[in-house]
Structures are given as C-alpha cells and as structure tokens.
Chains A and B, each alone.
Chain A
Amino acid sequence: MASIHVENVGKIYSGGVRAVSDINLSIADGEFIVLVGPSGCGKSTLLRMVAGLETISEGTVSIDGGVVNDKEPADRDIAMVFQNYALYPHMTVRQNLEYGLKNRGTPRPEIDARVAEAARMLEIAQYLDRKPRALSGGQRQRVAMGRAIVRKPAAFLFDEPLSNLDAKLRVSMRGEIKRLQRRLGTTSIYVTHDQLEAMTLADRLVVLDGGRIEQIGAPLEVYHEPASTFVASFIGSPAMNLMEGELHGDRLAVGPSILNLAGYAPTSGPVTVGVRAEDLRLATSAQESFLLRVEYVEELGSQRLVHGMVGDQPLTVALPLEEALQEEMKLTVEPRRLHFFSRETGKRLTMPGSEPVRSRQVMGAVA
C-alpha cells in the first residue's frame, strides 16, 4: 500500500511533441483514481510514466515517499493490467501468475499460496493449467487481474482493462474490480475513455484533455459542477446541453427565449449556458420557457429523450413517459440547475461569493 505523488510532470516525445503538461496529482493510500478523457488526452502516457514504461521528461513521480523517476518498472512495486491482457501465450495460467514472483525470488511455498489465493478470489482455479488461448475474454481478464494481485504491489495500474470486452461483461467486470479493490485496499490508478466506467469506479476522477488536467474531483462533484465546457460535455450521458446565451442582469436570453434567473446570474454579457437533460421540465403556459421544436425521440424504456432545436441551437431533454409529446414543447429549468461558462475560456463561472469550484478542486487534490 502506498500513496503516489505526481508533481509538475510533463512528457515530451523525441520528435518534440508534447503529450502531457504540468500534471499535479496526489493519491492517498488505498484510493481509487480514474484518469478519464478522450483518446490522445495523455491519460495513458501519464499512467505509463507512473509505471516506468515511459521516461519522465519533466517533474517527479514518487511512490510511497521515494522518487521513482529513474527506477525500472520492476523496482517500483507496481502491478499493471493491460488492455489486451498481455498474457504470455506460451505459458499456462499458473505460469503466467507465477512469472513475476519467480523473477523476484519469492520462495516456492509462498508462490503457491499466493497463486491459490488469487485463483480463489477470481474464481479461475479450474483454469490454472490452461493456456490463455483456451480462455474466453472475461477469463483472460481475470487472469490478467490475478497476475497483478499475486504480486501484492503498492499500487495497481489499469490501462483500459475492460475495453476489449463486450458491453455486458464490461459491466459485471467493472463491479468486480471495484469489489476487489475495496477488499484489498490497494491504491489504484485506472485509465479509461468511458465516462460511465469512470463515474462508477472512481473515488476521485481526473478528467484530462490535451495533456492537461481539466478537473479533479469525486464523480458526483464533477457531474454536478463541471469545471469547464469540456468536462460538461464529456461526463454524463446524454451530454450536458451547451447553448450560447446572453445575460442581461437577471435575465438569460437563448435565441428568442428568455428566462428569469431569480438572482442566479454570475455575470453579465455573452456566456455558454449548460443544462442537463434531466433538469429540464415541461413549463406551464404562464412560465417563462425555452420553446423546443421537436425533431426526433429516443425511447429508453424508463424515460424518453426528446431532441430538438431552441432557436438554431440543439437541445436534448429527458422526459418521463407520462408526458404527452407535441411538435413544440415549452421547457423550463430551476435557475440554480443552470451552469454558466465563459465564452472565451470555457471555464465555469460561479456566483460571486459562493465557493468557487476551482479552489475545492485544488483542496480535493491535496486531500
């Protein structure tokens, strides 16, 4: 078990391409951190720098208090689970699990005990003498986890471990990873591009874009108070509606529609307005509202997603099944459910006087 500290870390490839810049991240002992972002955002590079598979161009990574920049992966006391499992195809499952322990000179009885324990925990005992080729994707995934577990490392590093599985298996393996990590209490860093996976697994999320951290925070914090338009559109499904609007005192204009904000306007002038699909309600005829021209409807069973246009901007709203559908619908939203972002920087705008998200995020990072 260990804490991990990433300080001012950057990665520049030999061609001069900058993949990661100025990353600061403190991971507490036993914490489950998920790095999430679109492909090319630098999340895997960051993980691989912690693992020792990429050299660190700038800054330091320390594991359990000691700087590990110049240590071989094997000497960092970490274990890694790869996207394509990376099982040694010519070895049996048992040999795969044993290999790392043997290389470290672990005594035979200890090896046997640890393999047996991991096999029991992961329910792969009956496959121990098979070759990886004879296993299904899910079973291979368990073996890959097993290979990490037997090592009893200071930290687990997961590099998109579930993306090669089919959707159903992914959900069940997700639960299993969470359960195992809770039980073992091992510090974990988990990389994924799937925001749902990130939300469900993480103690804290690190949202990355363009090699920089956009936001760090607990899943719900990130969901409810996205620090930027990027986070707002990346986290949550359907993505948060983002529209161009104009604040005039207490009033918000989006296209032809006007809403009264009852004191919730953080600034004035042009802004990007964000609103989650589930926060929109049908308006009574007396209320101020957005006028939605409906274009098409997605039935999800428990609710329906109605897609349409407000003025010339797209908007999606989640409505209960009871509500009757019409060609044009009037929608409203509680002002405190609205998110405002700067048009120029995309950063969140907060109410003057209220606690800014930015500072909470920094506190979170230190916690």
Chain B
Amino acid sequence: MVENRPLLDFLTHLVLITGVAIVAFPVYVAFIASTHGTGAFVSGVMPLLPGTHMVENYSMMWNEGLTSAGAPPLWVMMFNSLWMALIIAVGKIAISITSAYAIVYFRFPFRVLAFWMIFITLMLPVEVRILPTFKVVADLGMLNSYAGLTLPLIASATATFLFRQFFLTVPEEIMEAARVDGAGPLKFFRDILLPLSRTNIAALFVILFIYGWVQYLWPLLITTDSNFYTIVMGIKRLAASADAEPLWHYAMAAVMMAMLPPVLVVIFMQRLFVKGLVETEK
C-alpha cells in the first residue's frame, strides 16, 4: 500500500528503539556491574560504563563460586541446570508423544478418562500444590536427586495436547497406506509418525528446555545438598549475600551466565521458539 508518512515512520522507530532500550536496560546494568572490581560499589552509585575486571570476575565465579554465600562453582550449577532442563524437555516430549499416540490412534476402555486425567495436570501448577507434592517426593526418598528435581515437573498436558492436535491433522490415508505396506503400530510410530513430528518436537523442545531451566521454587525445596543446586536457585543465594557484603560484581557475573543459555536458545532458534510458543498455547 502506498502510504508516505515520514513523521509516523519516525515515531514508529522511536517507539521501537525506546522499547528495545527498556527491555535491554536491566541486563545492561547487570552486565556493567559484572565488569567492575569491588571498589566500584562503595561510592554509593553504580557505574554505567564497563570496567576492566570482566574476565577476572567471570572466571572466578565459573571455577570457584562464592564459598561465603554457600554457592558452589558456577560450572557445577550450570551443569545441574542443563541436566535438569534436558531431562525435563526430553522426558516431557517422550511421555506426551506416546500418550497422544495412544489417545489418537487407538480406541480402548477408559480412553476418555485417561485424557481427562492428563488434562487435570494442566490445572494444577506446581506452585499451587507445593506442600503435598514436596511430601510425596520426600516420602519417596527423592530429595537431593535428579529424579526428585525432574519427575514431578515432567507430566505435561500442553505437550500432549499439541501432539494430539498435530496427529489429528496427519491425513488418515498415511496410516492406512502404512498398514497396507505392512507396518504395525510401533513400526508406523517409528518410521512415519516420529519423522513427521520433527518440527513440532524441535519447537516444543525449545519451549520446554527454557521451562526446565528457569525452574526456581521446586529446586529450592528439593535440594539441600549444594551438589544439586541449579544455577537459577544458586543465584538467589548469591544475590542475598551480595547485598550484605558488597559482592555485586560476582553476583551479576553469575546472573549474566545464568541467563545466557536459554536466551541464546531463543535468539538462535527464534523460528522454532515462536512456533512452539504460539502452538502450545492454543
């Protein structure tokens, strides 16, 4: 459409640049803080230009952590987070895709009941039933374990719905052709349905990886052994003690590193991320 309104164009870009700046500013402040030495925070206001201690601060946090704050080296916590996010993402996808397959491609007694039981998990976010769930995990002896960290977060109604929606759009004839071609249910699942779901799996993986990475309350309750601390909960401990004694530069270095993996995933897999986000919420 031909429309020449230079003033409006200018305003549009102005709004966008302001928006981008507002979105970026808190992280910029944190980044600047992470590049200064101890002395920079004594003056009463924090600097707004980068300092010279970046490498020093980051390598210190990565390799040693802050023993005074009870936080192990960052690489330990990052590894735990990565491990937890991966188990949650892969686990959620695996159990949802098989249950969606059962619900769409089979007819069996209690099918609708099973569907509703899965649906219920959607209504019960972990924050809401935190105490009884904690008790169950404690009774099962799963405190301070990867199983305890991940299993209660792994059931996923949204992923099941997404795969169900997707399976319903796969043409009927594909499955019929496969049956005529001699494929049984497991062969059809492995040879046809799984490869067809590739994009959906990838998109979902991006969303679920982020979901797993940003978990806070659950790891906070389940882990008392610092070997199982995840980065996101470890950071809270760092920040609390950073306020007591001025260790802002270390805390913010940890914040930057904690943000990086999921943010990079969003930036570099933006297309899959958007697809995953928009489709899981339908």
Contact = CB atoms under 8 A, between A and B. Distances in A.
B177 A86 contact: yes
A51 interface: yes
Contact of A84 (B173, B178, B195): B173
Nearest to A91: B195
B180 interface: yes
A88 B195 CA distance: 10
Interface in A85-142: 85-90, 99-100, 103-104
Contacts of A80: 176-177, 180
Nearest to B107: A14
B179 A74 contact: yes
B15 interface: no
Interface stretch (B97-105, B114-122, B140-148, B181-189): B181-189
B173 A86 contact: yes
A283 to B, nearest CB: 54
Most buried by B among A51, A87, A89: A89
Interface string A41-83: 0000000000111000000000000000000111000111011
Main SS at interface, chain B: helix
A89 B196 CA distance: 8
Contact of B187 (A52, A73, A86, A103): A103
Contacts of B180: 51-53, 73-74, 78-80, 100
Interface string B195-214: 11010000000000000000
B192 A103 contact: no
Contacts of A86: 171, 173-174, 176-177
B177 A82 contact: yes
Contacts of B181: 74, 99-100, 103, 147
B191 interface: yes
A80 B171 CA distance: 15
Given A90-B195, A90-B196, A74 B182 contact: yes
8 contacts: A52-B180, A74-B180, A84-B173, A86-B173, A87-B177, A88-B178, A90-B198, A147-B177
Given A88-B174, A88-B178, 13 more contacts: A52-B179, A52-B180, A73-B176, A74-B181, A74-B182, A78-B180, A83-B173, A86-B173, A90-B196, A100-B180, A100-B182, A103-B181, A103-B182
